[in-house]
Structure 1
Amino acid sequence: MCELIGLFLGFLSLVMSIATICSPYMRVATVVGSLITTNNFYENLWQSCAEDATGVSNCLQFDTVFAVPDYVQACRAFMFIAIFLKLLGSVCGALSATSTRFFHSHQGYTRNLALSAAGTYIIGGICCFTAISWYAYQITFEFYDPFFHGIKYEFGSALYVGWAAGTMALIGGSCFCCGSLKNIQATRR
């Protein structure tokens, strides 16, 4: 049962991580001290957008990798690694589940797959936390920097979804570890 909960949480974490990098609202402009209040500005790892009072939005893609700040490139890499690891963990977790019976006769294979799923979920959750927290740190640094004269941004809703995705991946990996340890103890008796 613990492994099924871990598989569900890990898969949900995968979906939430994909939603995080696809959402345009990783950071949104604050209107405190701004002269222009009819426009909303928001960004993510791929584009910068502006929306006017009528609801029409114009987005500018970050065309070249060399024009993007280093922390954005690193956050992109960490998020892709997290998504890949969570996908790999979902596959390993689905193959190791007792209800799928792929390796039912080989108990060692299912245990190793479950431990692999646990490890990939946990490392994927750490990568997700690293990317989201680094991005959030940069937003906070620019917001409180008195010498920064660009647009001041605040946390967008996608950052909170990313933190929840990392948390679910860590809990899902922990559930897989607990389920695998129970199975190891049960086979030794």
Structure 2
Amino acid sequence: MKHRTVMMYTQIGCFVSCLSGWILVSSTLAIEYWIWSEVSNVVLTTSNYFSNLWRDCVSDTTGVSDCKDYPSMMALSGFLHAARALSVCSVILGFFAGVLTLIGMKCTKIGGSELANARVTFAGGITYLASGFCGLIVYSWWGNKVRSEFVDPNFRAQKYELGAAIFIGWGGSLLLITGGSVLGFFSGKEGLRSTSQKTIDRPYSIPLARSTRTNMTAKLSRGTRLPPLIIQESRSVRESRTTRTSGTYNRDAFV
């Protein structure tokens, strides 16, 4: 199997993985079970409290639930503001990463040359990594806060447990990070290797061009008319060499 075919299938697999992770992370913004708690004395009076980034909800055993949005955005804690910002950034970065990956993948043939496509795909992989890390920070930070409050004996307010959205977010973030890492690694090897190779070979191309031009000038000046600047440069080079080799020294020169 050719190298290009292997790379194409690898990119497709990474893109499917990252797309699945982005869908999971996006779905957590609408899921209400980020945290939940159950308060019950008897079976008929059981109440469930749950909330997410946007609202608080309560339900009972009859199936009736009531949700209320947070009353004031300015009155919210800095923790909730940071969680909202990172969650939205994760979704936005994942969207743009998907666009870049679709443009640069070998199977789509939307971009230009192979080198340009590899660099665009590398940018998409890095953006997927940023999206995954933003989501992982949110869910890990939220989970650590819930855990620390639950095990703290001095915490007197109502204690909550981790909801389904946190576990879904962890899975989606890991898919984004894994797919973005593999996509960026292979695309970076293909797209950045050419740049490094040109940088290494560039210093040796300048003296080679000068020597080639000198030889061509010496050969063509015998029977072909050349521009005056090239002829003058070649004469100055020959005169300087003649001056260096034809210098004679006698005894009086060293006294």
Q: Does 1:165 align with 2:172?
A: yes
1:74-89 matches, cutoff 5 A: 74-89=82-97
Q: Does 1:95 align with 2:108?
A: no
Which residue is equivalent to 1:132?
139
Aligned partner (choices 114, 117, 141) of residue 110 of structure 1: 117
- Structure 1 runs, 4 residues or longer, greater than 6 Å off: 185-188
Residues in 1 aligned to 2:163 and 2:126: alpha-carbon distance in whole angstroms: 29
Question: Could you report, residue by residue, the CA deviation over 1:99-143 in whole angstroms, capped at 9, with x for unpaired residues?
Answer: 11111x422221111111110111111110101111111111221
The answer (yes or no) to whether the contact 2:21–2:176 under 8 Å persists in 1 is yes
Deviation (angstroms), 1:180: 1.0
Counterpart secondary structure, 1:173: helix
Structure 1: state its 5+ residue gaps: none
Which residue is equivalent to 2:49?
41
Q: Considering only CA atoms, is the larger Rg found in Structure 1 or Structure 2?
A: 2
The answer (yes or no) to whether the contact 1:47–1:62 under 8 Å persists in 2 is yes
Residues in 2 aligned to 1:175 and 1:91: alpha-carbon distance in whole angstroms: 17
Counterpart secondary structure, 1:22: coil
Counterpart secondary structure, 1:66: coil
Deviation (angstroms), 1:21: 1.3
Q: Which amino acid aligns with 2:24?
A: M
Q: TM-score, normalised by structure 1?
A: 0.90
Which residue is equivalent to 1:22?
30
Which residue is equivalent to 2:129?
122
Deviation (angstroms), 1:175: 2.1
Greater shift in the superposed pair: 128-137 or 107-116: 107-116
Q: Which amino acid aligns with 1:168?
A: L
Question: Could you report, residue by residue, the CA deviation over 1:143-181 in whole angstroms, capped at 9, with x for unpaired residues?
Answer: 122232222100001000000011000111022123314
Q: Does 1:7 align with 2:7?
A: no
Which residue is equivalent to 1:149?
156
The answer (yes or no) to whether the contact 1:42–1:49 under 8 Å persists in 2 is yes
Residues in 1 aligned to 2:161 and 2:38: alpha-carbon distance in whole angstroms: 6
Q: Which has the higher contact order (CA 8 A, sep 6+)?
A: 1
Residues in 2 aligned to 1:182 and 1:47: alpha-carbon distance in whole angstroms: 46
Q: TM-score, normalised by structure 2?
A: 0.68
Aligned in 2, Cα 1:72/1:186: closer, same or farther, shift over 3 Å?
A: closer
Q: Percent identity of the aligned residues? A: 25
The answer (yes or no) to whether the contact 1:124–1:169 under 8 Å persists in 2 is yes
Aligned in 2, Cα 1:141/1:66: closer, same or farther, shift over 3 Å?
A: farther
